Chain A
Amino acid sequence: NAGVTQTPKFRVLKTGQSMTLLCAQDMNHEYMYWYRQDPGMGLRLIHYSVGEGTTAKGEVPDGYNVSRLKKQNFLLGLESAAPSQTSVYFCASSYESGGYFEQFFGPGTRLTVL
């Protein structure tokens, strides 16, 4: 099992450009999440999904959109990138079974917006 994978690993954008980050998991997990990590801080939730076709906003959703068309994939879109979106983006997935839902994280995508 590859676990949680993210594409791309690195990206540099100019202000105003758009891009999509792809997260894929092969563990058949229902729940998927996008977080961002800024220097000296823990991770903060951008958006999440509790199942195929459903998405919800997290703590810092502005400037991002997401889609979950397939259970194994969760896409994060930046429509018009801004320097404030320079960050490391982590995707995670989890499942719930009898109150147990440990989250598993991908390797991260380092995004720089100039």
Chain B
Amino acid sequence: GIQVEQSPPDLILQEGANSTLRCNFSDSVNNLQWFHQNPWGQLINLFYIPSGTKQNGRLSATTVATERYSLLYISSSQTTDSGVYFCAVGPREAGTALIFGKGTTLSVSS
């Protein structure tokens, strides 16, 4: 099955710093999503991005499907950005599940 690897596993930042999170996957996909799991355990959809680039405020994401990786950029980080960021990919079959990476734990201090 598809393997999903996220790096780095942990990241500690000062408020205001920028960061890049990476997701590598081992096979072609037709679905790629980034999630933020906040300290209360909620999974928040950040991006649906099987290819291309998207931006939403301080966050942006780029997926290069042909090279099997995706990047999540966080600019001017805030303490509320703390939590775990998951990359999840879907194989090329409609209706099948997402395969999750193990996540990047981000801690932003003031």
> Which residues of A approach B to under 8 Å, CB–CB?
30-31, 33, 35, 40-45, 48, 50, 58-59, 88, 90, 92, 94, 96, 99-105, 107-108, 110
Contacts and interface: CB of A to CB of B under 8 A. Distances in A.
Given A42-B88, A43-B100, A101-B31, A48 B95 contact: yes
Contact of A105 (B43, B90, B101, B103): B43
Interface of B: 4, 30-31, 33, 35, 41-43, 45, 48, 86, 88, 90, 94-98, 100-103
Contact of A108 (B4, B42, B95): B42
Q: Which of A50, A96, A102, A110 is packed against the most chain B CB atoms within 10 Å?
A: A102
Dominant secondary structure of chain A at its interface with chain B = strand
Given A40-B102, A42-B101, A44-B100, A101 B41 contact: no
Nearest to A42: B100
B96 A48 contact: yes
Given A41-B102, A42-B88, A108-B41, A35 B97 contact: yes
A99 B30 CA distance: 7
Contacts of A105: 35, 43, 45
B95 A30 contact: yes
